[in-house]
Amino acid sequence: YMSNIRNPHVFNFVALPQVMAIGTLAECFNNRAVFEGVVKLRRGLTAKLVLRTKAMPDLFQLFFDFANMMGNKVDPNDPSAAETRAALETVVDVVLPHVRTTPDLTVPNRLAIIVFIAVSIRLLQRRNALEAGTSWVLRRGGIPAPQDM
């Protein structure tokens, strides 16, 4: 029903309680602190949720994130673990087609690794040359010393 809401103010009014509810559920899920005190969403996270919930893609992403968070907290020894995982997988299956994918960063990451390796090799070669005394070092300011030439 939320996908049919066109007014952004009405959408925020309807979507924010849903996001806060699943966020609180994810925070409380399999958390022993529930029995010791009050468990709430942190203020910073609450502010992020309010600012991020502007449209349906945002809502789908948050539901996906919280469902995965709860899925990671499922205790395999729990007798209802299979049912819980099935319910969470249903949520993920519903929202997954609508979740934005991240760009493929393999090429930039590989390039960064290659540059890092090249710079590291050069620095190691220079350090070894300095330790062996086969390289010259230009001291800051002044005339180079004879050992620098």
86-102 pLDDT, tens digit per residue, is: 999 999 999 888 887 76
The first and second tokens of residue 10, run together, are: 């009405």
One DSSP character per residue, 31-77 reads: -GGGGTS-----HHHHHHHHHH-SSHHHHHHHHHHHHHHHHHH--TT
Indicate the burial class of 70 (C-beta count within 10 angstroms; 0-12, 13-18, 19 or more).
Answer: buried
The CA distance from 26 to 52, in Å, is 17
pLDDT tens-digit readout, 27-83 = 999 999 999 988 888 999 999 888 888 888 888 889 999 999 999 999 999 999 999
User: Rounded to two decimals, what is the model's pTM?
Assistant: 0.62
